[in-house]
Amino acid sequence: MNVVAISKSGQDHAHLRPPSMVMRLERLGAFHASRLSVMRALLRRMHREEWRIRTVRRDLDEGGCGVAVYAVETPASDLCLVCFPGASAGFQAGSEPDFETDLVTSFVLFEGIPGDEDLERLRRNAPLLEKGRFAPGDLILGRAEPCAGVFGAAVTDLAAGRQPAAETLDRSGCLMRTTVFFGDGKFGLADDLRTLRVPGITAPFMAEMLAQYLIREFSFDLADHLAAARGGKLAARIGADTKRRTGVGFVADLADVAFLVDRPLLLNHWISEREKALSRVRHIRAVKPEHADEFSKLLSQVHGICRGWRSEDPVQTRKIRDLTRDLEDLIGFLSVNAGQWWRGDMPWSDLLDRVERDYSLETLELVNSLVLEPYPSLVDSLMDRASGTEDADIDPEMPLSVLLDLIERHYGWALSLDFSDPRASALYWYVRRGTERVGVRPRPANAPQGQELRIGMAREAVRLRTAILSEKGNRRTISVARFLRGHPACRAAVRRVQTIAQAPYGEVRDNLLHEETSPEALLRCKLSILGAAYFDPLPDRRMGSVMYRGAPVADGVHLEDPDAWPYARVSAL
């Protein structure tokens, strides 16, 4: 395995896989959630601090239209999820509502307990999404919709007095899925720095993952309410076991690709801390029997999960099939060598080298996540240092020769790309009506002039190097400030190169403008960092996933082990 040595404050000497290996689309697209994921960190905090969740208000008509408010009581503050299910009509005699169109829900994560004026303001503005007006106490804005063919069937079963059919729920793994998430100061919402000052919110996207958890609770309550409206006294309520086997869906889109490209410091933090955790486990010299047993058990559980993982995408289906086969073979190896594989010097490193040699990237990155599980005290604290800032400044005094050296060191992979080939710059990433899109050059007819997104960092680095090489004079004595006076268009590229020199895991080392580039790998990467599972590529360059499937529900999150659920077999719940 190729490694790169990184030292911080003399305390964390780790031999990490180099960015040239990790930050390739093929590998990023094979990432799986781990105990470092944002969701896992949130549930551990909720459990440790005994957060309590209660329903503050639920005013819904027979068709589900109205408002529901869920309060989260933390030791230091209160947060509320305010939901506005948008049913336009109630149940009519002799007719069935269209759950998938009538019950789209707008929601806002609100700091504090909203009063009547707050609720009225949010009721008017939340359904408008980006066209609405919001206040700094409005942290997260989003929209959720029932899963087609699943939510309605679940309500029908409940109304008839029975639990939703397991085979129906397992088709999607959820009753509702979120399709839009806004935060980070957009449209008047609180920005990242302010959100991170909210007590209990300690990492980027933790507020979003709290909202996602509460939407899961809302989906249960909404199904129960509609079933009672249909079935009256005969109706059943969703049982505890059914809730546990049901998560909440999340759909990532091109905005998530743009986010990762635009946040190199955060991406570097996420990836480098994961690599440090992996390195720490690799360098454990002696494995305890209980840790080896725990890993073997997890591997069998994940094998069961993979056998129930479904996708309509043929490429993803093939990956799942190959992963399931690899896990079966690896389980066999561990079984035959039950008393031997974990003995000796640095057995985790030996095992991971074997997986890297014999199996697919998908299998390797899954096993990389699983080996972290037995070692919470060794790895959990790594994600606690995240910052929401991306305020790296240009070093104006840096000699041009040093800047050129940084380009060749960190963007050497890009310098061999031929951007005179139209295929190398074929994709045109842009924003239209507040939504990130991608088309093929020349600029799509419906793309607004001047709205191209900065996705092509490889091309920018190549152009910057060309401009530097064309500069006359001694590059050792020419400063970046002097260079930029003559090349102001290079300012953003200079900032990027200097940033990546300090954050080497912050740059994807592939050409995102090439005609064959697919955003699915980056969508999968971000979803895995958040903690999602059951990845499913969707049309229009989106990625579906399921979150919190198997997780404790609201009334048990402060009582149950917050780390016992992620790899539990759904069929055993």
Q: Token digits for 353?
A: 């080298």
What pLDDT sits at residue 153? 93
Strand order in the sheet with 247-252: 52-60, 66-73, 78-85, 105-111, 138-146, 174-182, 247-252, 542-547, 533-538
Top pLDDT among 413 and 199 is at 413
**Higher-scoring residue by pLDDT: 92, 281:** 281
Q: Residue 321 is encoded by which pair of tokens? A: 């099939």
Q: Is the pLDDT of residue 95 over 70?
A: no
The chain-wide mean pLDDT, for the chain, equals: 90
d(CA 406, CA 500): 9
Q: What is the pLDDT at residue 506?
A: 96
pLDDT given at position 67:
96
Q: Categorize the per-residue pLDDT at 249 as very low, low, confident or very high, splitting at 50, 70 and 90.
A: very high
Q: Residue 87 pLDDT more than 70?
A: no
Question: Among candidates 347, 385, 368, which has minimal Cα distance to 12?
Answer: 385
Residues 63-82 have a mean pLDDT of 94
C-alpha closest to that of 458 among 405, 520, 415? 415
Closest by CA position to 248, among listed 110, 146, 153, 106: 146
In the predicted structure, residue 385 carries a pLDDT above the cut 70 = no
Q: Averaged over 502-529, what is the pLDDT?
A: 95
- Determine the Cα–Cα distance for residues 181 and 281; give it in Å rounded to an integer: 35
Q: What count of residues does the chain have?
A: 573
pLDDT score, position 504:
96
**What's the mean pLDDT in 40-60?**
95
> Is residue 9's pLDDT more than 50?
no
pLDDT at 515: 94
Q: What's the confidence (pLDDT) of residue 183?
A: 85
Q: Check whether 2 has a pLDDT greater than 50.
A: no
pLDDT at 530: 96
DSSP one-letter code for 384 = G
Reported as a pLDDT band with limits 50, 70 and 90, residue 10 is very low
Band (pLDDT 50/70/90 cuts) for residue 389 is low
Confidence of residue 461 (pLDDT cuts 50, 70, 90): very high
Q: Which of 356-365, 389-398, 521-530, 546-555 has the lowest mean pLDDT?
A: 389-398
Question: What average pLDDT score do residues 484-513 get?
Answer: 96
The set of residues, in sequence order, having a beta carbon less than 8 Å from that of 413 and lying 6+ positions away, is 20, 458, 509
Look-up of token digits 């710059």: 425
Q: State whether the Cα torsion 451-442-466-516 is positive or negative.
A: positive
Instruction: Please tell me the predicted confidence (pLDDT) of residue 96.
Output: 55
pLDDT for residue 45 is more than 90? yes
pLDDT digit string, tens, across residues 276-330: 999 999 999 999 999 999 999 999 999 999 988 989 899 999 999 999 999 999 9
**Share above pLDDT 70 across residues of the chain, in percent, rounded to a whole number:** 93
374 pLDDT above the threshold of 70: yes
Cβ neighbours of residue 535 under 8 Å, at least 6 residues apart? 311, 316, 524, 527, 543, 544, 545
Amino acid in position 353:
D
User: When comparing pLDDT for 9 and 474, which is higher?
Assistant: 474
Q: How confident is the model at residue 193 (pLDDT cuts 50, 70, 90)?
A: confident
Specify the 3-state DSSP secondary structure of 188. helix
Q: Worst-scoring range by mean pLDDT, 45-59, 121-135, 423-437, 488-502?
A: 423-437
Q: What is the DSSP letter of 145?
A: E
H/E stretch holding 542: strand 542-547
Q: What pLDDT does residue 97 have? A: 55
Say yes or no to pLDDT of 70 above 90.
yes
- Model pTM? 0.92
Mean predicted confidence (pLDDT) in 445-462: 88
Q: Which of 105-109, 166-170, 193-197 has the highest mean pLDDT?
A: 105-109
Express each pLDDT in 339-365 by its tens digit.
Answer: 789 998 999 999 999 999 999 999 999
